[in-house]
Amino acid sequence: MTGQPPRRAAELLGQARRVVVFTGAGMSAESGVPTFRDALTGLWQRYDAQALATPEAFRADPALVWGWYEWRRHAVRLAHPNAGHRAVAAIQHRAPGTVLITQNVDDLHERAGSPDPVHLHGSLFAPRCASCARPAPVSDDAEGEPVDGRRVPPPRCAHCAAPVRPGVVWFGEALPGAALEAAVEAASSCDLLLTVGTSGLVYPAAEIPQVAARLGAAVVQVNPEETPLDGIAEVNLRGPAARVLPALVDAVWGGADG
């Protein structure tokens, strides 16, 4: 995509009555947050990310896994929402009732002004007890030193003294039931789904755009690369979200900034 977004995408967004925005790792990567498939950096490159992100890894070495997630959370704290995040917030402001569904576990959408995103894969900022599942507080480490390659014993639950775990969905775990139900309901009733920066490969989250398409909604995809979602998208906008989404918002609402 060069210049202004294709007119059809702007028409679809401008005419839609029920909009869903579905975002993936590509959007946060534009803010410098590594995607899960990126090679680990620093001392963490000695480890396999997929091997750390499992319930079995946490049971075997909770301090190692907690240290890695503390490192990830610190990295997110240092990142900033990009123009794509702000454009999503502008869409929500200009099209009331827009539902934002994200596969990302950071808080960049919230910091850009998006209210109550549906977090399909949980959040780095919502740790919970590994036993009783009660929410646990998260420390503000924005000014602290990064935890690079170090084991950090997880805190203990204030209610049952079990270790606190990261509030994300690990390999082998089901998606949060309430979040998945909300996402499917939104996709089932929308007339436009805007999918941004997602590979379309991670299931069951990748089903969300397909649910919308099967039930008659238009799908507009924003991604620099081809994905398995190309075939169901009515419009494919090639380019980074931080460039494409502000242009789309400008085409529909004349530079609205939310």
Please report the pLDDT score of residue 215 as a whole number: 97
User: Rounded to an integer, what distance in angstroms lies between the CA atom of residue 121 and that of residue 170?
Assistant: 8
CATH topology of domain 1-32+81-122+175-258: Rossmann fold (3.40.50)
Residue in 226, 242, 202 with CA at minimum distance from that of residue 88? 242
Please report the pLDDT score of residue 36 as a whole number: 66
103 is in an annotated binding site: yes
**85, 109, 119, 121: which is the annotated catalytic residue?**
121
User: Rounded to an integer, what distance in angstroms lies between the CA atom of residue 10 and that of residue 192?
Assistant: 11
Cβ–Cβ < 8 Å for 66, 153: yes
Cβ–Cβ < 8 Å for 117, 37: no
130 is in an annotated binding site: no
Superfamily of domain 34-78+128-165 in the CATH hierarchy: SIR2/SIRT2 'Small Domain' (3.30.1600.10)
Residue in 136, 154, 124 with CA at minimum distance from that of residue 61? 154
Q: Report the SS3 class of residue 53.
A: coil
User: Rounded to an integer, what distance in angstroms lies between the CA atom of residue 105 and that of residue 53?
Assistant: 13
What residue ranges do the domains of the chain occupy? 1-32+81-122+175-258, 34-78+128-165
190 is in an annotated binding site: no
**Residue-wise pLDDT tens for the chain (258 aa)?**
444 468 999 999 999 999 999 999 999 999 998 776 665 555 566 778 778 899 999 999 999 999 999 988 988 999 999 999 999 999 999 999 999 999 999 999 999 999 999 999 999 999 999 999 999 997 765 445 556 667 899 999 999 999 999 999 999 999 999 999 999 999 999 999 999 999 888 888 999 999 999 999 999 999 999 999 999 999 999 999 999 999 999 999 985 444
195 is in an annotated binding site: no
**3-class SS shares of the chain: helix, strand, coil, % to 5:** 40, 15, 50
Does 80 qualify as catalytic in the annotation? no
Q: In angstroms, how far is CA 225 from the centroid of its own chain? A: 18
Cβ–Cβ < 8 Å for 98, 20: yes
Please report the pLDDT score of residue 3 as a whole number: 42
105 is in an annotated binding site: yes
User: Rounded to an integer, what distance in angstroms lies between the CA atom of residue 88 and that of residue 84?
Assistant: 6
